[in-house]
Amino acid sequence: MKSAVNLSKSGLFLERIKEGGVLFDGAIGTQLYERGIFLNQCFEQVSVTQPRLVKQVHRDYFDAGAEVLTTNTFGANAKKLAQHGLESRWQEINRASVKLAREVAGKTGFIAGSVGPSGVTLDELSRPQGRKAMQALADQIEVLVEAGVDLICLETFSVLQELEMMIERTKALNIPIVALYTFQMNGRGAEGQSPIVVGQRLIEAGADVIG
């Protein structure tokens, strides 16, 4: 697939973050749940089945002052969608989600393509199931970029090596990267890493923003 990065908005985002804080929106799934979508449903599919609902969530965040809207695509990779029998519709769901966010953000807001972890463990990363999962995430990121997001937001990864791999794969697409790592209750990484070590590794991997 040929990437089609929105260079002007992507570059503008990188310049904007140098000026100071940039306000992102909040959780999409939480808002969909509060608006009647049950936990046993696929939140990402709602972008196709109830687009007005997803668009209203974006609108509420944007009207509240959010400068960056994240797409409703946290688990919209083929591996995760297979749990709902939707693995063949992953491209459709990702593209529809980007379109909804863009319609709300217009020319002034930024669109972040949301990508969550695959769910594989550290031990599985080097095995066939791990390689397949990494490819599913990479494919999703490429479609999000093609669909016109301004940046990629890799969210709540707990396997540091997986997050590093996705940063490196995304970097090749020349688009800003926000990388968010999830720490354990003791404040350390899954393998005992300190926040400073995690932060350094994410920056070295190529992330533009870390959290």
In tens, the pLDDT along 44-56 reads 999 999 999 999 9
DSSP class of 111: E
Q: How many CB atoms lie within 10 A of CB 99?
A: 16
Helix (H, G, I), strand (E, B) or coil at 44: coil
Strand order in the sheet with 209-210: 68-70, 110-115, 151-157, 177-181, 209-210
Distance CA 171, CA 204 (A): 12
Given a cut of 60, whether residue 168 has pLDDT beyond it is yes
Q: How confident is the model at residue 2 (pLDDT cuts 50, 70, 90)?
A: very low
Mean pLDDT estimate for the chain:
95
Distance CA 14, CA 174 (A): 12
Q: How confident is the model at residue 7 (pLDDT cuts 50, 70, 90)?
A: low
Given a cut of 90, whether residue 82 has pLDDT beyond it is yes
